[in-house]
Amino acid sequence: MTTVITARGLRRVYGQGDNAFEAVKGIDLDVAEGEVFALLGTNGAGKTSTFDLLEGLSAPTAGDVEVFGLDPRRDRKLVRPQVGIMLQSGGLPAELTIAETLEMWRGTCSNPTTAAAVLAQVDLTDRADVRVGSLSGGERRRVDLACALLGQPRLLFLDEPTTGLDPESRRATWKLLAGLKAAGVTMVLTTHYLDEAEALADTIAIMHKGRIARRGTLRDIVDEHPARIVFDHPGLELPPLRGARLDPQSRVTVYTHDLQAHLSELLAWAGAHRLRLNGLEARAASLESVFLDIATDETDANNTAETSAPTNDMIGAQL
């Protein structure tokens, strides 16, 4: 499989001396041709900084990036014509109409399609003569996407492509992106919508504090994360359950890779003691739970997870 993007040991430090801030702390990644790679993360995790490095918009403090086997900064003239970029905020001139904007943008592309073609793709044909400054946030986002598509790119960078779009427009954009993927376009996107990553991405990487905390297919990421059982502490000694924690609100959380077995065990124990477990919840892992655990720095959830059958030294000793 051909690799379109390779990054090794990528670092980005802003400022100098006492003011230096390391936003990207040594990232390795590979994106294959035709792949949709989604970069997720909390605000400030370093996604946009990473994008800037991959796009060649800023120079890495350390490490290497290759796009189509070339340096995106040094070989910009060769790389740029093959790449479409949708920045977080397009910054298009407010006084131009959509049609004028696209014509202006076409002039910067070496192999552009027509403005009419991209307008149809983003469903803005009827709005071609409206000034950009009068558009809604969602419409403006679609103009940004149209500009990114004008050059018929082989590689698309999409920084939060559907932020501000209503649910119907989001679905329409997903459909458009799925069509581009089917046509072989490689995409790297950031998004705060986990369902967007689930719907579009082949590979998901979750960034946290400048590093990639998890990566893989949706299935890989979810499968390696424990499910959880949560309930109010019933006030008597609990059965031996591995990987349990008690929070200050007296809620017990049990992390497990075998939800059914441990839930059955807990319910059997509660039944034998004629106990009602208040606030009982049992949740399989999901992209959201992985994300939230990373975001709240509960990265040791994996470490406390069940790895073998529960033993008697567990919950009582740990709580």
Ligand X SMILES: Nc1ncnc2c1ncn2[C@@H]1O[C@H](COP(=O)(O)OP(=O)(O)OP(=O)(O)O)[C@@H](O)[C@H]1O
Nearest Cα to Cα of residue 30 among 60, 52, 1: 1
Residues with Cβ within 8 Å of 302's Cβ and at least 6 positions away in sequence, in order, are: 224, 225, 226
Q: How far apart are CA 252 and CA 117, in angstroms?
A: 56
- Only one of the segments 36-44, 100-108, 118-126, 243-251 lies at the binding site for ligand X (rule: CB under 6 A); that segment is 36-44
C-alpha 100: how far from its chain's center?
33
- Only one of the segments 40-48, 135-143, 180-188, 281-289 lies at the binding site for ligand X (rule: CB under 6 A); that segment is 40-48
Q: Assess 2 for contact with ligand X (CB under 6 A).
A: no
Q: Assess 289 for contact with ligand X (CB under 6 A).
A: no
Q: Which of 1, 16, 17, 43 binds ligand X (CB under 6 A)?
A: 43
Q: Which of 9, 28, 44, 69 binds ligand X (CB under 6 A)?
A: 44
Helix (H, G, I), strand (E, B) or coil at 139: helix
Residues numbered 45 to 104 that lie near ligand X (CB under 6 A) are: 45-49
Ramachandran region, residue 235 (left: φ > 0; alpha: ψ -120 to 50; beta: rest): left
Q: Which is nearer to ligand X, 148 or 266 (CB)?
A: 148
Q: How far is the CB of 15 from ligand X (least distance, A)?
A: 6
Strands 251-256 and 21-32: unpaired
Q: How far is the CB of 291 from ligand X (least distance, A)?
A: 13
Q: Assess 249 for contact with ligand X (CB under 6 A).
A: no
- Only one of the segments 13-21, 172-180, 194-202, 235-243 lies at the binding site for ligand X (rule: CB under 6 A); that segment is 13-21
Q: Which helix (H) or strand (E) holds 290?
A: helix 287-295
CB-side exposure of 1: number of CA atoms within 13 Å? Answer: 12
Binding residues vs ligand X (CB under 6 A): 14-15, 21, 23, 41, 43-49
